[in-house]
Each structure stands twice: as structure tokens, then as C-alpha cells.
Structure 1
Amino acid sequence: MLKNPKIKTIMKTIFITFALLLFSFFLKAQNNENITIGKKEVITSKVLNENRTLWIYTPKITSQSPNPDKRYPVLYLLDGSAHFYSTVGIIQQHSQANGNGTLPEMIVVAIENTNRVRDFVPSNDLDNPNPFIEFLSSELIPHIDKNYKTAPYKMLVGHSLGGLTVIDILTNFTELFNAHIAIEPSMWYDNEKNLTNTISRFPKQNMNGKRLFIGTANTLPKGMEFSQLKNDKSFETQHIRSIFKLDKFLKANTNGLIYGSKYYENETHNTVPLISEYDGLRFIFDFYLLDATEKDFTDSTDLIASKLKIHYANVTEKMGYMNAAPEAFINYFAYEALGKQHYNKAKALFELNIEWYPESSNVYDSYADYYLAQKDTTNAISNYQKALEINGNAETRSKLDSLTAKVILKPETIDLQKYAGVYVIETYNISIVLEIRDNKLIAKVPGQEDDEFEFQSEHIFTVKGKQGYKVTFEMDGDKPKGFTSVQPNGTFQATFKNK
């Protein structure tokens, strides 16, 4: 019924269609509502003998199509209150906004400081590690895993002394995190003792598949050229020299580590975190963006199904748990292909959804729609039955009954008349007029072609000539209160206004 604008460009991302659904997020900002990007939570640490405040962001806060069953990787952020807003902004922009899919959606757990030096200075005694690390491993991470929808992929980000902690954890507690971003790590601390220990212990660890990005600012004394740094021994340059020593060592001794670094000539110690967070996340997830063109999505071949399958197999391997394109995304392009009679492409996409989401009733209902379009009644009935075994959806039941001739309904004009009138989708301020024309219920939307609602069962209609559309009226006796339109690319609710 309600149509999305035509997609003119398919961006190199699997999340393009969800950009359309984010429109209502921006509408919310125009209503006098608070814009919330996180919450504070306090946990009691027995290890540290104190309460610790967390700033927590979850993707559902900013998503307009939240999936209650989806699990997310977790980014743990040191110096949390200083970097929470910038980190969340980068992640939301590159995982949800404007169809971007360069990063996965993720949970952010930012840890407020209480005693920064105590927490971030390594003990250098592996038998008696810094209690803060025990707090992370035995209290904080289990707490987050218990109370949030987490996936088994964890990242740690730290700046300055926090960056030193990141390097310490990577070196000595390698299994704790999958990926690390160390921004301006204080490798100079304690006369580079931690740097020496890192260089000594690093080769003994199995770093296979671990990822590290180091961002380094320009902290050279005023007037000093970069070329002079090599021969300089002053305390003023010890910070930057110690980072470059570590960088040189890591490039020569990766030990299975996937390592990247960048020097920011025009950034200072305090301005470099934001750009390092961005570059670090892009480096860590350099495999995440789908390499596909507009033609892949719009042509008649089934190549896009193969590309999606190969891509997400790679993402799954890199992240260590099952990853797949969203079910609604695949369904959208499958129905689009079906409407264009690109049957091989539609079939491949519907089957991909069944492979990835075998517990979803909708994937079988959609596959049955494909067979119905092919006039293969036997397979259509079989898949509608599979869908009903999982979820007794009324629309699916109506489709199956129609095929098996258990229900034959043909409403008269008088029956349709009760649905006629003016309805409003208030979220978008769009008026829809339903009128009776030649004994048919016709929907009129400004700027769009008229659609015919085809009666399926009591108060349930489909849209003629369109697969995957269902309109269900909510009634008060014989008077409509509104309707819900379920489409391959979204769900829309309309309220009855007048006749």
C-alpha cells in the first residue's frame, strides 16, 4: 500500500533498505522529545571494593528496526566519559545511518574512572596482575554478557594510560579481547619498562586473528622536525619515540597479529582520539562492508545471492560467530526480483533466507509466494504449511485456505463499504482515502498510483499485483478504527479519521 521511494543507488552495503526506515527517527527529533543515546548503570565490584559507573549504548536505542533476537559485539571503552559520545556517534553513523554498513552494530560499554593511575598502570608481575584487569575479566564482562544481547566478539579501546592498558592486556591477557585500539599509548611510563616487557613477552603469545590499531599524534616539541627524532634522546620526545619503537617491533614481529597504525601529523595528544577511533574501527572491520555494485542488486541474475553468501561466510569466519544479512533486507530484494519476473534471482534469495533463518515462519511464507507466482501449487502449499507449523499467522492461513479451497469468500460491495473512508499515517502525516469503485476497494495515496485491496478473509486484504503485502483492519463492531499495512520493506499503521 504505502510505497517507499525508488532506490536510485544501491550503496556498497547490505543495510541500504533500512536507511528508509530511519526516516521516522529524524521525525522524532522534530517532536519535543529527548534524544537518548545511552544510559548509566552502576555495578558493585568486589575486586576493586567500590562501585563503578558504566555508560552503555545499545543499538536498539537508535534503531528504527530493532531485532530483539540479534546479538551484538561489544566495545569496552576506557576513560569512558571522555570518549563515549564520539565513539557512539561513529558506530551509529557507520552501522545504521544513511544505509551505511561499514561497521556492525555494537554495544558500547564505557567505564568511568575513579582512580585512573591505579587502574591503568600495569603491575609487571603476571602472578599479581592489576586488579582492574581482574575486574574486567571476572566481573564486568560476565555482567554485560548476562544482561545484554552480546555476541562473542569483544573490543578494547584506550587512550594515553588507557592505551598502555590496552597493550598490556593484548600482550599478557591475549584471550580477553578480539580487537584492540591503543591511542597514544604511554609506552614511556616507568622509563619504558612496560615497553621492554611487551617486546619480551609478545613473541610467546598466540596472536592469530587478534587485531590491533595504534594511533599516534604529533607530540614533537615546537620547532623540531620529524627527521630529527631518530637521534633525539630528550625526555620531551620519549613519549612519541617509545610508541614508534613499539610500532617498529610489531611490524617486524606480528606473531599472527593483524596490525595497523597511523601517525597523525596535524593532531595533538588530546585531539587524536576521535580520528583514531574512526580509523581503528574501520581497520578492525575492513572485511565487513559488502563488495557489491548497483548492477548486482538490479540485474536479473542470481549473482547477488552468491556474493551475499560468500561475504557473510567470511564475516562469520573473521568474527567467530554466525553473521548474515537481515532477513527483511533479503526479502525486500527477493520480492523486488519476483515482481520483475526475475525468477532465478528471487528463488536464490528466498532460499538464502531459509538457510540463514530456518526458524522464521516468514521465510517459508515468502518462499511459498514464489511458488504461487510460478503456479506450483504443491510446493506453495507445502511451504505455507511449514510457515504455519512455526507461527499460526492469519495471512498465511488465509493463503493456504485459498489454495486448498477450504475457504471461499467473495464479499459484496456492502461488505467493502464499511472499510471506506479517510485514514492517516500520523508518523508521516500521509492521508489515505479508501473508496469503493466498481465493487472494488481502492486505496488512493497522494503522488502514487491507486491500489486495489483484495479481500482474503474477515478484515484482511492483500494488494493486487504485489507480493508480500497484507492489510489488516482493526474494527469496533462494523466501524474501522484503523489498519496495519505489512510490506516487505516495513510496517505502517493508519488511523481512521472520517468517512
Structure 2
Amino acid sequence: MDRSSDWLEWFLQKKIRTNKGYMVYKVVLILILLFQFNVHAGSDVSIAKSFEFKSKSLSENRTIVVSLPDGYESSNARYPVLYLLDGVQNLKHVVGSVDVLTRVGSIPPMIIVGIKSKNRMKDFTPTKMDGIEESGEGKAFLNFLGDELIPYIDNKYRTNKFRVLEGHSVAGLFTAYTSMESPDLFDAYIVMGPAFWWNKEEPVREVKSFLSTKPKFNKRIYFGVGKEDGNRHSLKRFVEEIKAAAPSQLVWKHEEFEDEGHMSAPLLNNYFALKFIFSDMELPQEVRDNFTSKKFLEHEFGIMKKYGSAARQPQEIYVPLAMELMKRKDYAGAVTVFRRNADAYEMNKYPQNYVWLAEALEKNKEPEEALKVYKQAYKLSKETGYGELERLTKKVAELKAQL
């Protein structure tokens, strides 16, 4: 196997940049950096566990499915929670998107709590509508979430209190209703193809007055819809009201997807919504351009405080940034970033993460620490079959001789 650092150095020499800062083609770094060694053939894969929850608010049992992030059992970390309406129907594609985005560092690891639907028109509609006798029980379902299910999840699992609510169609209607009826219950909302036509576009009429009374409404809300979805028209009118009255602290986005209808759009909606909701995790360009270890670590500690200690940047940010710092001869800064990269992606068991750190430590005139890290790289290389044992043995011997 060729040395990954050789490939990266070649790209650095080619000076692939934008005028705002350093950039390397994502596809190359994905292939180089995200090579995994911990796949176990023959093992069963389970994405969630289910249980019956007896609700007093609803006077019935509800099926709840819970998907825990990789590493949950072996860590002490606390995690954000995504509450997923129509949870059984949508679980597979949501777990898949969360898995991909978590592995590359675009979102933090999170707990997914899905709620199986029984009667959607009853649970997800906030008001009665003529012709639908069972409608209008949204308040009871909201009480179930706030008074029963969320306290239960917080007590049973290691949550960090950051909560996201996601819903599609009438569940999207309920998600928007929840943001206005109980704005402190969730921190972010994903509203997909919402049924804002409800009761002659009642939500469109209500959102302006709601926002006028909430000048410090500091939530993150994503609205997504397919361009072939008839619900896009009422959503567009809802969004126009937000444009006119949104408080300065409200962070929101509205996207329409070409060639997608009501039932096909949620896959894309969910993926891009998650990236948007957690977009504040990304290291600011100003920190990259005017790097100091202090500013870098302040940002990293900030995202871990907000989203849990397992939150991290993509390696596509850490590694090119540290390589650039090496070129600038800011070896102390490179050590800071490479160390964070190695710690954040420890579970990948990727020896090259430690080789990069050891090289930076050598340049920073820390031979004793470099020796320890080279030994870590050697051990991992042997365990995973990564190779390069001869080169790593030589480096260990060289440093021992120096010391």
C-alpha cells in the first residue's frame, strides 16, 4: 500500500485551493482517509431495538424504536436525540444517512428515537377539520412527547439535551405546530413536504403572529420538499411569512428538489437537513486562514459541549489543515490538529493518523512523544494488516538511538 502522506503531499504541491482557503478534492480524501479496518464478516447487523411504551396521555401503548450510535456501549459520551415521526416507516433511510454523515464528521453521533404511527390524522393534526372526524388530537400527542417519552428517553439513555424533531407530510405539519406550540421542547426541526394546506392553510396564517411574539426564537429549522409535491405551494407561502418576520436568531433553510415527489423527497430532505442543522460544527474559514491552536481548540470544545464529546470535524478538514500548517512550519499547530484527528477517529484504527502525528511531533522537537506515537502506529499496523511495519520499526529504532 502506498503511503497516504505521499498522496497528500502530491496534492499539496498541486496547490488545489480556493481564494478563501485550503481545499482538497473530497473524493480523494474519502478514499485515502476513511479506509476502515473494523468490518467483521459474518456478524449480524441490527439498526434498532423496539419496545412498547404505555402512554397515559394517549391511553394506549405505542411502539418505540431506538437506534444507538456506534460505540455507545463502550463510551461515556452523551448524545443528541433525533425524534423521528412515522418512525418505523422512515427508520432505515434515516439511520443510513445518519451513519454516513456521522462517519465523515458532518454531524455528531446521535440517538434516533422513532415513534410508530397508529392514526396519523388523529395524532398529527393540531385542529379539527370538517370531514375528518378523528382529527385535532395533536395536543395530546405533543403532551405524550413532552411529558412522557422525552423524560423516559433522557432517563434511560445518555442524552445531552439537544433534540431534533423530524416529520413528513402531516407529521411535518405537526413538527411545525410543535415549534410554535412548545418552542422550548426541541432545539431544531426538520419539516418535510408539510401538509400546510390544513384547515385552509391555517399554519400559514399563524406563523407570522407567532414569530412577532418570539423575538429571541433561536432555533434551527429546515424545510424540504420535492418540486413535484403538491404541498410545495402552501410551504412556499409559509416560508414567505418567515422571510418577512423571522427573528434575527432564527436559522432556517428552504429547499426544493427537482424530479422528486411527495414520497421520494424525504430521503434527500433528511440528508441535507441533517447537514444544515449541524452546519455550525464546521470549522470557520477564519480559523483555518488565521490559525492558532487556541482558536482551533475553542471551536472543538464548543461543538463537543453542544453536541456531545463524540462530535468532531471531518478528516477532510483536519488532515489538509494540519498538512498546510506543516508547510507553514507551524509544527506546534500541526501537532494540535493531528492529535485531535487521531483522538476523534481513534475507533477507525487507522495507523496513518498516528504516523502523521508522530511526524509533526518530530518536527516540533518532541522526540520522546513522537516515539510513543510511532509505537502506537506500529501496534495498530500489526493488528490491522495495514503494512509499513519495516518503516515503522526503523523510525522507532532511530528515535530510540537519539534518546
Q: TM-score of the superposition, structure 1-length normalised?
A: 0.57
- Structure 1's 156 and 172: CA in aligned 2 closer, same or farther, altered over 3 A? same
1:159 aligns with 2:168: yes
The aligned runs of 1:239-254 (5 Å cut-off) are 239-254=231-246
Q: Distance in 2 between matches of 1:449 and 1:351?
A: 21
Match of 1:195 among 189, 196, 204: 204
RMSD: 4.7
Q: Aligned partners of 1:198 and 1:35: how far apart in 2? A: 43
Larger strand fraction of residues: 1
Distance apart, 1:50 and its partner CA: 1.8
Secondary structure at the aligned position of 1:215 is classed as strand
**Residue 75 (str. 1) matches residue 88 (str. 2):** no
Residue matched to 1:42: 52
Q: In the TM superposition, what is the alpha-carbon distance from 1:308 to its structure 2 partner? A: 2.1
- Ranked by relative contact order (alpha carbons within 8 Å, sequence separation 6 or more), the top structure is 2
Task: Write the distance in 1 (CA, Å) between the matches of 2:56 and 2:171.
Answer: 22
CA–CA distance in 2 between the matches of 1:313 and 1:424? Answer: 27
Give the corresponding residue for 2:20: none
* Structure-2 residue corresponding to 1:383: none
Aligned residue pairs, count: 347
Residue type of the alignment partner of 2:268? I
Out of 13, 32, 37, the residue aligned to residue 24 of structure 1 is 37
Alignment check: 8 A CA contact 1:101 1:289 kept: no
Deviation sequence 1:260-305 (CA, Å, 0-9, x none): 1012242111111111112212222222223579xx7xxxx99362
1:88 to 79, 95, 118: 95
- Measured in 2, the distance between the counterparts of 1:240 and 1:450 equals 58
- 1:283-432 → structure 2 map (5 Å cutoff): 283-290=276-283, 303=291, 305-312=293-300, 315=303, 319=306, 325=312, 344-345=332-333, 428=384
Supply the AA of the counterpart residue of 1:204.
T
* CA contact 1:171–1:201 (8 Å) conserved in 2: yes
Provide the C-alpha distance between the structure 1 equivalents of 2:175 and 2:187, rounded to a whole number of angstroms: 12
The 5-angstrom pairing of residues 50-129 of structure 1 reads 50-60=60-70, 68-96=75-103, 100-123=104-127
Letter in 2 for 1:87: V
Name the aligned partner's letter for residue 83 of structure 2: Y
**Identity, % of aligned positions:** 26
Q: 1:263 to 1:344 in 2, by over 3 A?
A: closer
Stretches of structure 1 that go unaligned for 5 or more consecutive residues are: 221-236, 357-365, 381-394, 396-422, 431-444, 454-462, 468-499
Structure 1 residues 343 and 263, CA gap change in structure 2 (3 angstroms): closer
Alpha-carbon distance change, 108 to 449 in structure 1, aligned in 2, over 3 angstroms: same
Which has a greater percent of helix? 2
2:259 matches 1:271: no
Secondary structure of 2:191's counterpart equals: strand
Q: Specify which of 166, 171, 184 is matched with residue 175 of structure 1.
A: 184
Give the distance between the partners of 2:24 and 2:110, measured in 1 at CA.
21
AA matched with 2:185: L
1:52 Cα deviation after fit? 1.6
Alpha carbons of 1:350 and 1:241: their partners in 2 closer, same or farther (altered >3 Å)? closer
Does the Cα contact within 8 Å between 1:55 and 1:111 map onto a contact in 2?
A: yes
1:58-83, Cα deviation, whole Å (9 max, x unpaired): 2226x8xx861211111111111121
Listed as ranges, the gaps of 5+ residues in structure 2 are 9-22, 129-136, 345-356, 373-378
* Distance (whole Å) between structure 1 residues aligned to residue 301 and residue 125 of structure 2: 39
Call closer, same or farther: CA 1:427–1:42 in 2, change over 3 Å: farther
Deviations 1:96-152 (A, max 9, x none): 1xxx2222221111111122111101148xxx9611101111111111111212112
- When the two structures are superposed, what TM-score results if normalisation uses the length of structure 2? 0.69
Residues 434-483 of structure 1: CA deviation (Å, up to 9, x unaligned): xxxxxxxxxxx677336279xxxxxxxxx54569xxxxxxxxxxxxxxxx
Does 2:391 match 1:449?
A: yes
* Matches of 2:144 and 2:367, distance apart in 1: 60
- In 2, the alpha carbon distance for the partners of 1:112 and 1:37 equals 15
The residue number in structure 1 matching 2:15 is none
Secondary structure of 1:287's counterpart equals: helix
